[in-house]
């Protein structure tokens, strides 16, 4: 996997490339509440940009701006060098930005192939006989999933019968197939076990190798470090750091992510708690 990646990266030298998506100094207010302040982020083709942060750090606000659900209040948002303001998720999709939400990705009771083509169905025939090209869609779904490394024998099964990881993968494969240039993944591994997470991360890497710019939102630094090329840390709506992979080690990333100095203080406080007192209290009661 790594060989194909380096070959891809060497095709275009970093200096000549324009960022697919570039946010600079973005801010966003909900009424008087400042949700984002001065956040910058760049997404390049064939790279994975990880956005890390605790709950409430502004991760979801940030992706909602890129996905077209919200508009930013300050700063600039450029797609391939052109400054824009997205009005709807449909507009974002048309500009090549696809978002895979953790829980909103698929319709569980519908067959895999119907989910894959939902909203972008293929037709054949004319006039009143215009109809869905079921065979074409079934084979395409099968082929595209296979290309991502998912060998699903029966694409007619309800997608709800797949595992959580597989469902995320179908959503990713769908975004790749429909020509997304930028793929935003909202906590794709949050609800998954270790093995399932590994599978999903592999498909994230596969999407990167297909030349997409990937934004991976996560609060797990270990997952981020496995696949990420650059890391943006958010804390209470502001930038807490932006690093390239060779500029930061996993331990440092984990430490910053976990709250850095706050965590050290917490560990001191916890360490001083006198344990024997507690058990004594229980025995008396």
Partner 1 sequence: MSAEAPPAEETIASPRPVRGSLPRRLVGRPELGAVVGAVAVFVFFSVVADAFLQWSSFSTVLYASSTIGIMAVPVALLMIGGEFDLSTGVLVTSSALISSMFSYQMTANVWVGVGVSLLATLAIGFFNGYLLVRTNLPSFIITLGTFLILQGCNLGFTKLISDTVSTKSISDMEGFPSARKVFASHLTIGDVEVQITVLWWFALIALATWILLRTRAGNWIFAVGGAKEAARAVGVPVERTKIGLYLGVALAAWISGQHLLFNYDVVQSGEGVGNELLYIIAAVIGGCLLTGGYGSAVGAAVGAFIFGMTNKGIVYAQWGADWFKFFLGAMLLLATLLNWWVRKRAEESK
CA–CA dist 135, 112 (Å, integer):
13
Number of neighbours of residue 222 by Cβ within 10 angstroms: 13
According to DSSP, the residues that pair with 27 across neighbouring strands are: 74
**CB nearer partner 1, residue 77 or residue 116:** 116
Per CB under 8 A, which of residues 158..177 are in contact with partner 1? Answer: 161
- From 9, 110, 238, 263, residue interacting with partner 1 (rule: CB under 8 A): 110
Write down the least CB distance from residue 223 to partner 1, Å: 16
- Hunting for tokens 């990333």 — which residue is that? 253
- From 19, 43, 50, 150, residue interacting with partner 1 (rule: CB under 8 A): 150
Q: Does 153 bind partner 1 (CB under 8 A)?
A: yes
- How many residues belong to the site for partner 1 (CB under 8 A)? 50
Write down the least CB distance from residue 35 to partner 1, Å: 21
Residue 273: exposure state from Cβ atoms within 10 A (0-12, 13-18, ≥19): exposed
In what order do the strands lie in the sheet containing 238-244? 82-83, 74-79, 21-30, 33-43, 238-244, 230-235, 48-53, 213-218, 182-186, 97-100
DSSP 153: S
**CB nearer partner 1, residue 62 or residue 173:** 173
Q: Does 225 bind partner 1 (CB under 8 A)?
A: no
Q: Which positions touch partner 1 (CB under 8 A)?
A: 1, 89-90, 93, 99, 101, 104-110, 113-114, 117-121, 123, 130-132, 134, 138-139, 141-143, 146-157, 161, 195, 198-199, 202-203, 206, 209
């Amino acid at each position: 996997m790594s060989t194909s990646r380096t070959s891809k990266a060497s095709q275009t030298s970093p200096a000549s490339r324009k960022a697919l998506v570039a946010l600079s100094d973005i801010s966003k207010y909900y009424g008087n509440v400042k949700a984002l302040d001065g956040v910058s982020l760049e997404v390049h083709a064939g790279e994975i940009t990880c956005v890390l942060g605790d709950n409430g750090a502004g991760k979801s606000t940030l992706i909602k701006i890129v996905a077209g659900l919200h508009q930013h209040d300050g700063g600039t948002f450029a797609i391939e060098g052109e400054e824009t303001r997205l009005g709807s998720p449909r507009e974002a999709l048309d500009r090549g930005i696809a978002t895979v939400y953790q829980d909103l990705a698929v319709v569980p009771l519908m067959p895999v192939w119907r989910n894959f083509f939902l909203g972008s169905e293929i037709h054949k025939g004319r006039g009143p006989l215009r109809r869905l090209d079921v065979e074409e869609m079934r084979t395409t779904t099968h082929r595209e999933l296979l290309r991502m490394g998912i060998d699903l024998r029966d694409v007619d099964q309800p997608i709800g019968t797949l595992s959580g990881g597989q469902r995320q993968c179908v959503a990713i494969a769908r975004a790749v197939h429909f020509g997304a240039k930028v793929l935003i993944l909202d906590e794709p591994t949050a609800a998954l076990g270790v093995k399932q997470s590994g599978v999903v991360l592999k498909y994230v890497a596969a999407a990167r190798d297909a030349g997409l710019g990937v934004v991976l939102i996560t609060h797990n630094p270990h997952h981020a470090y496995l696949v990420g090329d650059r890391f943006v840390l958010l804390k209470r709506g502001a930038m807490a750091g932006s690093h390239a992979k060779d500029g930061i080690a996993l331990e440092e990333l984990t430490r910053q992510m976990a709250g850095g100095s706050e965590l050290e203080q917490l560990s001191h406080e916890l360490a001083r708690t006198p344990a024997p007192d507690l058990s004594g209290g229980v025995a008396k009661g």
